[in-house]
Amino acid sequence: MQTRAAKRYAAALHASAIQAGMTTEIFHQLEALAGLWRETPELREVMNNPRIECPLKAEILHTISRELDSPQLLTNLLNLLLDKGRLEILPALYAEFETLEDKAAGRVRAKCIVAHPLTEEQLGKLRQRLLTISGAKDILITLETNPSLLAGFTVSIDGKIIDGSLQGRLHRLGRALAQK
């Protein structure tokens, strides 16, 4: 339910941000707000506490918006989320907005887990190969190192997993031998 609501709010915010020509600004502000929400348990406690009056919560949000110099569009969204009791979806709303921004820019995100750190040349080749596979204009690669892969890498892109690791090959070989 939270994800569906976040998708709806993100879509409405994204459409309004495009219309206002403020997608980049809204994106960065939303990123800051989502981070503040995730990293500040006291803020979550206050905003989720039913004993605290709504006008006080609205004043806290107004202060945060003013400190971050948030555009009115985002301040209005925060007030709406407060009125509907849905402030907790801020991190999911940010993630959905980021997805919409990526899609609009023709960009995909890939998570690559490697057995050993890649050289710049290897990373460049990987980037080109993933661009070809995905058909995207741009790609953002997040790298992680996991020596338990033994050699090679795994990539998660657009909900697909490409396993080019030695560990994965050995696992597939073991399954194949077990079936015979």
Alpha-carbon distance 6 to 108, whole Å?
A: 20
pLDDT value at 1 more than 60: no
Alpha-carbon distance 11 to 35, whole Å?
A: 20
- Picking from 60, 85, 102, the residue at the C-terminal end of a domain is 102
- Picking from 67, 102, 137, the residue at the C-terminal end of a domain is 102
pTM given for the model: 0.73
- Which amino acid makes up residue 45? E
Same domain? For 116 and 80 the reply is no
At 107 the pLDDT is 85
Query: Which residues have C-beta within 8 Å of that of residue 14, sequence separation ≥ 6?
Result: 23, 97, 100, 101, 104
Split at pLDDT 50, 70, 90, the class of 2 is low
At 165 the pLDDT is 67
Of all residues in the chain, the percent with pLDDT exceeding 70 is: 97
Question: Taking Cα atoms as reference points, which of 50, 49, 81 lies closest to residue 64?
Answer: 81
How is the beta sheet containing 107-114 ordered, strand by strand? 138-145, 107-114, 153-157, 160-163
Alpha-carbon distance 34 to 39, whole Å?
A: 9
What domain range includes position 159?
106-179
Question: Taking Cα atoms as reference points, which of 165, 173, 170, 175 lies closest to residue 144?
Answer: 165
Same domain? For 46 and 110 the reply is no
Alpha-carbon distance 98 to 95, whole Å?
A: 5
Same domain? For 156 and 115 the reply is yes
3-state secondary structure of 180: coil
Same domain? For 115 and 95 the reply is no
Of all residues in the chain, the percent with pLDDT exceeding 90 is: 43
Any idea what the CATH number is for the domain that residue 15 is in?
1.10.520.20
Same domain? For 128 and 65 the reply is no
Same domain? For 98 and 27 the reply is yes
